[in-house]
Amino acid sequence: MPLLLYAVIEGGEPGPELPSGVAGVTIQSMKASGLRCFYAAHRILLGFDPRETALEFHRVVQAIFRAADVIPFRFPTLLADETQLRSELQTRAAKYHEDLARVRGRVQMEIRIEFSNGGRDEARAKLSGAEYLRTRQSRQATLECVAAMLNRAVCGLLADWRQHELRDQLRCFALVGRTSVTEFERVLASAKIAPELRARISGPWPATAFFSEERENTPGAPMS
């Protein structure tokens, strides 16, 4: 029977008590190579509301994350059966252990920095191509300056920091200790930024932005 994969943790202990998964199916776990993988057997995933099934999936992942450092799978990641699952865990065990060691005791906080108007006002729409490009570059430089300022403010709490540029927005990912989240939020809440900008903080989340890039497009690739 096909298996829907939820997450991997390190260690052989049974793991936390979990809510039912997608469509109310009971979560199971498998131990292999010093890892424990949480999964559920599904005959079919069709016919369910996509939004509700995604929420059910993430509820389970968050329950695991509250108890342990975790590598979550993208939804839906499916394998044929338990034989294939055990093989995947054994094959990728070294990389899973490496990623889990990198984020041990740490969580991911996200900061989205953007202009309050979203950067899509009518004035910009009337600019020529060259003017639009210069304006966009200037706005992006402003966002990066704010990111650098916030980075400096919390540098004493950081284990790592990464940034990802989007259209008129900058996503910053901070790797911080689980016990440092409250202080991280306190420091950023007191940071002063220009009124035309806003910085939205979310988390804590599993530290997916800090896993190995080599694991992209594999059955074990983390959620983004």
Per-residue pLDDT reduced to its tens digit, 171-217: 999 999 999 999 999 999 999 999 999 999 999 999 999 998 644 43
Is there a single domain that holds both residue 57 and residue 149? no
Q: Of the residues 103, 120, 138, which one is the last residue of a structural domain?
A: 103
How far apart, in whole angstroms, are the C-alpha atoms of residue 176 and residue 215? 22
Q: Is residue 211 part of a domain?
A: no
Q: Is residue 214 part of a domain?
A: no
21 against 48, higher pLDDT: 21
Q: What is the pLDDT of residues 122-159, one digit of tens each?
A: 455 556 677 777 877 888 899 999 999 999 999 999 99
Q: Is residue 66 part of a domain?
A: yes
Please give the full DSSP string across 39-94, using - where no structure is assigned. EEE-S--TTS-HHHHHHHHHHHHHHHHHHS--EEBPSS-EES-HHHHHHHHHHHHH
The count of structural domains within the chain is 2
| Owner of token pair 């639009």 | 132
Is there a single domain that holds both residue 28 and residue 80? yes
Is there a single domain that holds both residue 98 and residue 165? no
Is there a single domain that holds both residue 14 and residue 99? yes
Q: What value does the mean pLDDT of the chain take?
A: 88
**Looking at the chain, which runs of residues are DSSP E strands?**
3-10, 28-32, 35-41, 71-72, 78-79, 106-115, 158-166, 169-177, 197-205
Is there a single domain that holds both residue 84 and residue 155? no
195 in Cβ contact with 206 (< 8 Å): no
Q: Is residue 212 part of a domain?
A: no
